[in-house]
Amino acid sequence: MALHEPMTAAGHGELARIGVVVSHGFSGSPESVRPWAEYFAGQGFAVNMPLLPGHGTTWEEMARTPWQHWYTEVERAYFELSAQCDRVFVAGLSMGGALALRIAEHHPVAGLALVNPALAVVDPRAKLAGVMRHVLKSTPAIGNDILKPGVEEYAYDRTPVAAVAQLMKLIKDTAGNLPKVTAPIMVFQSTVDHIVAGSSADRIRAGVSSKDLHIVKLANSYHVATLDNDAPEIFERSTAFFKELAGVHNS
């Protein structure tokens, strides 16, 4: 399979009509969440993992892509699964977590699994990206924040400043509508993350209306935890969470 390919998988067994949308993050690619999507598929879930517009090509193309296009692609995956499934869950890494929350703000979602969701970023310059983009096209890459040696997420080698400005708009829009989220949520948060600020989980906890909210700390992974040392725990716990919510208890 070529890098950056999206992925769909039909459900089977008891989970045949239970869907999971899986979204990668900002400047990354489906490779960062492919093992997670494949794990869900192996368990029997119907899976749709899109390639976000402006990703998997060049950072220059990403610089020309408005955030609404990223959201619309995840929403399209959600609609596709909704047409064939009784329930649809949404899982996301980093910006994919923000997109998952926005889906839950506007559509019925059975539950969310979020890995280091991006509702606040570490780099203070991000807030100035809307101005900086006029004088600075790109900055060094933010990809591959992974503790485990020798692992590659296949993100861009430069970060387009114009796209950072779009990310900040997405974060503002999503954070402002968090009270609309009522779906159960499991957040996986790395104790050391050089990209997303720890306050992201605090914003979710304070903002959503969900009564069922779990924060799982990851002590042995950096930002791209779905490819890091704690990946097996993420896969197993998110799957068990979704199965419980779906009323399926197969092994």
**What residues act catalytically?**
94, 193, 223
- Going by C-beta distance under 8 Å and a sequence separation of 6 or more, which residues neighbour residue 234? 36, 113, 115, 188, 218, 225, 226
Structure tokens at 133: 């983009």
Tokens representing 157 are: 């080698």
Q: CA angle at residue 163 from 90 to 55, to 5 degrees?
A: 55
Q: Which residue has the tokens 């590659």?
A: 152
How far is the C-alpha of 51 from the C-alpha of 70, rounded, in Å?
Answer: 9
Give me the sign of the Cα torsion angle 235, 238, 240, 242: negative
3-state SS class at 152: coil
Q: Give the distance, in angstroms, between the CA of residue 17 and the centroid of all CA atoms in the same chain.
A: 22
The dihedral region occupied by 229, where left means phi > 0, alpha psi between -120 and 50, and beta the remainder, is alpha
50 and 86 Cβ atoms separated by less than 8 Å: no
From 39, 119, 47, 41, select the one nearest 78 (Cα to Cα).
47
Token output for 205: 């906890």
